[in-house]
Structure 1
Amino acid sequence: MVDILHRVGITASPKEVYDALTTIDGLAGWWTRDTTGDGEVGGVIRFRFEAAPPPSGFDMKVLAAEPAERVLWEVVEGPGEWVGTRIRFDLKQEDEYTIVLFAHEGWAAPNEFMHHCGTKWATFLMSLKKLVETGAGEPAPDDVRISNWH
């Protein structure tokens, strides 16, 4: 198994970052505007992308939501490479920054789609940073296009 890993510092409190990771409005503000569902532990959050080929999004079951510390999802619907993987956001305070340690864990192999997703996660994590720091992120469909896969 292989993982996508990123580290991003956001000049905001861990609570502000946590809220952007656990509320539907927060998630829609940095990942995709078409976000619905329940961000509580045991709930499922649905993320849809208008330009994507079928399946056009992901359903995430919320496994953990520890205020200002950690968010953990399991992919329960989406592209085959994603189903069963886990997405983790660990938060910690360092000076004026909240450090987000991001992991998309459990990929079967480092294929081309994983490379694409690693780059897209980086762009969306920068959108998260921008949302929390300025009030306006760049969620899909306004995200950075990196290839014909979007």
Structure 2
Amino acid sequence: MPNIVHRISTDAATPDEMFDAVSTREGFISWWTEQVNGSESLNEVLEFRFGEDAGGFDFQVMELERPTKVTFLCVDGPKEWIGTDVEFRISQEDNHTVLFFAHRGWREEVPFMHHCSTQWGDFLLSLKEKFETGIGRPFGPNFRPIDNWSPLVPVS
């Protein structure tokens, strides 16, 4: 099965701060999307929405190991995402906090996966900017699309 993987690092965040950014509603609002609902507790579901008509993704919280690991299982969204998991692993290297990101379990490598890989990379840079400049670029007024595809409408 193909996977999406990325790595970022910053000296502007501690591992605990990075953990909060990738495990809490408030954290996600600062870099991924301004529309997050649900509970960030273990086995509960967080709902991420991208515009009024665009829909979104629902993730069940599978692992919360402060400050090193957060894992979600996609339980609703585009068919390509359902059953995939998203993992954030956090470590410290010298003075840098490192975030390793993986979106695993894609059934096949399709054009929508390529779009999602690039979009994930851009959102992870938004997370890095949130720490380094104080301002992220979540989906909302400051969002910059990477292409003309909707973030939630797969292209076959």
Common fold: TM-score over 0.5: yes
Give the match's secondary structure for 2:3: strand
RMSD, aligned CA: 1.2
In the other structure, the counterpart of 1:20 is: 21
Give the match's secondary structure for 2:32: coil
Alpha carbons 1:16, 1:132 under 8 Å: kept: no
2:58 matches 1:45: no
Which ranges of structure 2 fall in alignment gaps of 5 or more residues? Answer: 151-156
Alpha-carbon distance in 2 for matches of 1:52, 1:90: 32
Give the match's secondary structure for 1:2: coil
In the other structure, the counterpart of 2:105 is: 106
Alpha-carbon distance in 2 for matches of 1:128, 1:43: 23
Moved more, 134-143 or 115-124: 134-143
Q: CA offsets per residue over residues 96-138 of structure 1, 9 Å max, x none?
A: 1111110000001110000000000000001111112332110
Alpha-carbon shift at residue 22 of structure 1 (Å): 1.3
Alpha-carbon shift at residue 92 of structure 1 (Å): 0.5
Alpha-carbon shift at residue 52 of structure 1 (Å): 6.3
- Which one-letter code corresponds to 1:107 in the other structure? W
Alpha-carbon distance in 1 for matches of 2:112, 2:31: 21
Question: What is the aligned length?
Answer: 148
Alpha-carbon distance in 1 for matches of 2:80, 2:52: 19
In the other structure, the counterpart of 2:66 is: 67
Alpha-carbon distance in 2 for matches of 1:86, 1:95: 29
Alpha-carbon distance in 1 for matches of 2:63, 2:53: 28
Alpha carbons 1:86, 1:104 under 8 Å: kept: yes
Alpha carbons 1:52, 1:149 under 8 Å: kept: no
Change (3 A) 1:51 1:117: farther
- Which one-letter code corresponds to 1:121 in the other structure? W
In the other structure, the counterpart of 1:4 is: 4
TM-score, normalised to structure 2's length?
Answer: 0.91
Larger strand fraction of residues: 1
Give the match's secondary structure for 2:22: helix
